[in-house]
Structure 1
């Protein structure tokens, strides 16, 4: 069996509007999502023993609740019956650099990479649409990572229209906290009544995140970091946080601002990309044409 290193890139919500809430509690969104050339790395070795093993422990996350394990087992159940003695397995290692609870989509990206890679390695022969539908059952952000194109997302994040925002450079600032998505989405003061707009109109107004006021109010450390970054230009929250970002025309400009950061601020510079680094890797290795 061949072992490969596979990227699991981060994403940014360039804007995020909440236009309603379904009876099942899921929120209806309009958001523009772009990947960045920065993220986790997965090392995946297919096996013949039927076991799904993750050799990397993440603090505070039970292995069975980890989306990596859940995604692999979901695909395994979908493609093989429970009592099939010949079903394949996988040994997986995670090189984690994305912050947990940062709004960068790390867990969903990890799950999408696992679904795509094991679908190939196990010869499941599912197309991206089938994989996205499967992934949606365990995470609403997973489909966009499966399809691998920047997109205008609607519904609960599952209705995707391909988009090509400018591939800017971003300074992403990482406050030292983890924010639960469910906590923000269940907050009684969260704005849920933004007016739905056509994508071309949303794209031409100042970008905004409806989750940002609540996050800034609940977490003073996010407010602190955002206030610093706003001194250098427009900045906003990604997803439900905690990470915030500002965009620049050049890498030099982004790195210059990062060099001005006080010691209590940590962050990184990455370029926005409209094709996922995972899909670029698949293309280079001949898995996509």
Structure 2
């Protein structure tokens, strides 16, 4: 199949979108130390971008430097090599990664980059793996990777591998990057972390009045990094109502967000964000943008 002369040799500017956790509850802990969670993952239109060019010599290399991420540790390179080994492909790839998503921001940038790599190279190398096979492979790289491979917004449980498609409302988000990097292990290992939040059902979301949609990691992160608390406090001035409009942290931090029903409102608030913080407006997505590029 790899001898097919019609197969493309490049895919350029492949998007790797960020996600927001509209809520994140820790509902238990496994005997191996992994935490059990419930969350709704929301895709947004802020992305990293990757360029892929096929090589015939089997070499996989990243063409550019990424600050703080040596190539051999990059999930992009690890994903490419994992797919190459699993599929027994003799092909390689030159890869360029253009980062827009902050590392340690809770936006899933590294996991999303890995997922886009699997999707793109599965196509370029003509591996013909199904979406489900790619998701199983992606779980070896990290708990969030299968979500990005699933390609739709989702109600997520377990350690991140139990995924149910969900439709979310169209909305806009003001996102603030407080300028701190939060190592995920420091949050999950904290003694103060709540690990017994009551389990909710997918049908509860988002209208249940008996559930508080929060991020259980937020209190610990705010204790460790006052900048996160400051950003949440600032955004909280603009809450439209209780519930999903509430300002909160995404993932294990450090980025925080607040949702708005229209773009103009979000842009007006974003323009007021204090200059010491990076900020931007993002729109909700219903599908991963790679879904329109590739048919799996």
When normalised by structure 2's length, the TM-score is 0.91
Find the counterpart in structure 2 of residue 269 from structure 1.
281
1:210 aligns with 2:197: no
Q: Which runs of at least 4 in structure 1 moved beyond 3 Å after TM superposition? A: none
What residue number does 1:138 align with? 141
User: Counterparts of 2:10 and 2:42 in 1: how far apart (Å)?
Assistant: 31
Structure 1 residue 271: Cα displacement = 0.6
In the alignment, is the contact (CA less than 8 A) between 1:9 and 1:278 conserved in 2? Answer: no
The aligned runs of 1:184-263 (5 Å cut-off) are 184-204=187-207, 205-233=211-239, 234-263=246-275
Pairing 1:1-289 to 2, within 5 Å after superposition: 1-80=9-88, 87-204=90-207, 205-233=211-239, 234-280=246-292, 282=293, 287-288=294-295
Is contact 2:21–2:250 with CA below 8 Å preserved after alignment?
A: yes
Distance 1:171 1:36 in 2: 11
Distance in 2, Cα, partners of 1:58 & 1:180: 18
Indicate the SS of the match to 1:223.
helix
Please list every run of 5 or more consecutive structure 2 residues that lacks an aligned counterpart in the other structure: 1-8, 240-245
Q: Which residue of 1 aligns with 2:4?
A: none
- How many residues get paired? 279
Q: Secondary structure at the match of 2:26?
A: strand
TM-score by structure 1 length?
A: 0.94
Take 2:165 and 2:11, find their aligned partners in 1: how far apart are those partners? 32
CA shift digits 1:41-82 (9 cap, x unpaired): 0011111111110122222222111100000000011011xx
Q: Is the 8 A contact 2:10 2:124 kept in 1?
A: no
Greater alpha carbon shift after TM alignment, 156-165 vs 1-10: 1-10
Shift of 1:206: 4.0
CA distance in 1: counterparts of 2:186 and 2:65, whole angstroms: 24
- Deviations, residues 204-242 of structure 1 (Å, cap 9, x unaligned): 244210001101111011111111111111200100000
Alpha carbon RMSD of aligned pairs, Å? 1.3
**How far apart, CA to CA, are the structure 1 residues paired with 2:27 and 2:114?**
27
2:5 aligned residue: none
User: What is the alpha-carbon distance in structure 2 between the residues aligned to residue 167 and residue 56 of structure 1?
Assistant: 35
Structure 1: tracts of 5 or more residues without a match: 81-85
Q: Is the 8 A contact 2:10 2:51 kept in 1?
A: no
Please state how far the C-alpha of 1:202 moved relative to its aligned partner. Answer: 4.3
